[in-house]
Structure 1
Amino acid sequence: MAIDLKQYKDIPHGDMPGDKVEIGEEHVKKAQLIMESLKGMLDEVIAKDGKAVITVCGGSGVGKSETASLLSYFLNEQGIGAYTMSGDNYPRRIPMYNDAERLRIFRTAGVRGLVKAGEGTMEHFDTIRKWQQEETDADRSHVSENPWAASYIDAGRKGLEGYLGTTNEIDFDEVSSIVKAFKSGQNKIYLKRMGRTDSELWYEEVDFSTIKVLVIEWTHGNSDHYEGVDIPILLNSTPEETLAHRRARNRDGKTDSAFTMLVLELEQNLLASQAHKAKIILSKAGELLSFDQYKELMNK
């Protein structure tokens, strides 16, 4: 049965400035399915604590913003006040600078790794510089003809692992303080707003006096670096599904850089390491998964 999307066209979305939220039929079906599993869990938490924090996490293009917005909408329709907060407002740097910092860390660690491996010749540095200018220095295919490049890529990867999704990249303390203030019953809470440039940064006072459920939509929503989440929800996609989605979205035919693909892979690894905590796991195809089923799917 087809779903009439008109009623969802103007529903409130998350609070990330400029975030594009396009609700489709698949998002509605997933949100409805989640609501069926969520109801009992939510009733239990609210009965105990008066308020609840849900997080909707997952990788690139899995529909976090759309699904979280719909969950808040459905809860509000049932008379349970809900607000959708975007965790993407809480990195330590604006996106432009954070992207640059990720690349700086990868390249700095890579060059140091090259030196440590005894491969720091000027010839190798010149080749690395050429790849950097081409934005292909994270491409592992270079190793087949240049075995020494493995030292650069492996060290860069390790350096990036020490930054992505950590307290170095994200202000988890601020998110924790918001969750704590919400659960303690604070009626007015200032929430951060972050755009794409350094002039797009401000705070907005949000009225939580009628809100019982805080829905956080965020890749790192299930992270170990902050506390207070009652019901983590994982929207899963396999690496192949994520890649297919990104290829379909790039209508101009431009493919992601090797570095972007490395970032996505490392984020996928983080999500996998945290998946055991999820109370609800939903596949890309819209099927509820147990943790064992999730592991089986990801190990195929």
Structure 2
Amino acid sequence: MELKQAVEAIVKGGNWKGPEIPGDIPHGDMPGDKVEIGEVHIKKANTIFPELLLKLSEMLEKRKTEKVVLTVCGGSGVGKSEIASLLSYYFNQLGIGSYTLSGDNYPHRIPKYNDAERLHIFRESALKAMVKAGTFDEEKFQVIHQFQKEGDDANTAHVKEYPWYESYLSGGREGLRSYLGTVKEIAFDEIEDILTQFKSGKEEIWLKHMGREDTELWYSKVDFSHINILIIEWTHGNSSNYRGVDIPILLNSTPEETLAHRRARNRDGATDSPFTTMVLELEQAMLEAQASKAAVILSKSGELLSYGQYCRQMEESKGGSHDQ
């Protein structure tokens, strides 16, 4: 059945119900990624899927296409991998071919080198900013250097004892902001090329897989001849640095929730370090800046949100107030 006909039949029927979920379903193509689907993920996917079908139906009415790209984006730990896997499973169960691609395969560097590059950029930018502002001297550097050796130089608490330290932090933060989620960090052009190939109807596409070690980097040829839905699960899925996404889905979370998940997952060292916290805060700011483009937004409690509701919820999480 063609994609348009299949979607229309389901939408007109109006009685879609989530299928039974077996113990193991296919998931994204990130090597070693652990996807543990729970009742919360199923409930959220079941909330998203009917709304997604409506969006698809509206889009297919306006466009002559049988190849659609969705993204499931949000902060670390919000459930992107699990929910993307479920949505893909639902499509496949309905006879609509779907494949889940992990955007985490496309940084320029494997994780440990990318983490090192992030830290280097933070520190170099911080020191350059101090020199430019005239706040740097050797005595201050001895203080900074000690914090660096302790892995604590991104800690904002140091400003209480050393007011000049704010110039170090602000400079480092700006440098880091210019790298995170940009073409300097990620091969957006490679993902965009994949989307172009997919939408042009190419039946076989080479996809990259990146693990956590130097030897864990390879390509595999994937059969897309029966795939109509390509789902990208990725923090930067809604980025403006690449084109080709049709329906972005945003899963909302706060930095505190993201950090709690990283602690539990503990795939890398220093998951709750001040530097990691800074990275998560900057990534959260990027997600918020891109949120207006999302076609579907789901709250952390599993409710569908308008963009206005999303903005209010984010302000509340920061302790702000709203006047309607």
Instruction: State the distance in 2 between where 1:5 and 1:37 align.
Output: 16
Q: Residue by residue, what CA displacement relative to the aligned partner does 1:13-46 show, whole Å, maximum 9, x if unpaired?
A: 1000011110000000111110010112223445
Distance 1:79 1:28, change over 3 A: same
Please give the residue correspondences for 1:141-180 in structure 2 after superposition, counting only pairs within 5 Å.
Answer: 141-180=157-196
Instruction: State the distance in 2 between where 1:247 and 1:187 align.
Output: 40
- Structure 1 residue 245: Cα displacement: 3.8
Between the aligned residues of both structures, percent identity stands at: 62
Residue 188 of structure 1 contacts residue 209 of structure 1 at CA under 8 Å; is this kept in 2?
Answer: yes
Please give the residue correspondences for 1:86-97 in structure 2 after superposition, counting only pairs within 5 Å.
Answer: 86-97=102-113
Residue 64 of structure 1 is matched in structure 2 by 80
Structure 1 runs, 4 residues or longer, greater than 4 Å off? 246-250
Residue 229 of structure 1 is matched in structure 2 by 245
Residue 185 of structure 1 is matched in structure 2 by 201
Amino acid at match of 1:216: I
Structure 1 unmatched ranges of 5 or more: none
- Structure 1 residue 191: Cα displacement: 0.2
- Structure 1 residue 6: Cα displacement: 8.1
Residue 13 of structure 1 is matched in structure 2 by 27
Structure 1 counterpart SS, 2:157: helix
Residue 32 of structure 1 is matched in structure 2 by 46
Match of 1:140 among 156, 164, 169: 156
Amino acid at match of 1:241: E
Residue 45 of structure 1 contacts residue 51 of structure 1 at CA under 8 Å; is this kept in 2?
Answer: no
Residue 85 of structure 1 contacts residue 215 of structure 1 at CA under 8 Å; is this kept in 2?
Answer: yes
Report the number of matched residues: 295
TM (norm. structure 1) is 0.94
Structure 2 unmatched ranges of 5 or more: 1-17, 317-324
Residue 117 of structure 1 is matched in structure 2 by 133
Amino acid at match of 1:295: C
Structure 2 counterpart SS, 1:206: strand
1:73 aligned to 2:92? no
Residue 275 of structure 2 is matched in structure 1 by 259
Instruction: State the distance in 1 between where 2:293 and 2:175 align.
Output: 26
Amino acid at match of 1:42: L
Residue 103 of structure 2 contacts residue 234 of structure 2 at CA under 8 Å; is this kept in 1?
Answer: yes
Please give the residue correspondences for 1:201-240 in structure 2 after superposition, counting only pairs within 5 Å.
Answer: 201-240=217-256
Residue 98 of structure 2 is matched in structure 1 by 82
Q: Residue by residue, what CA displacement relative to the aligned partner does 1:86-131 show, whole Å, maximum 9, x if unpaired?
A: 0000001111110000000000001111212222211111111110
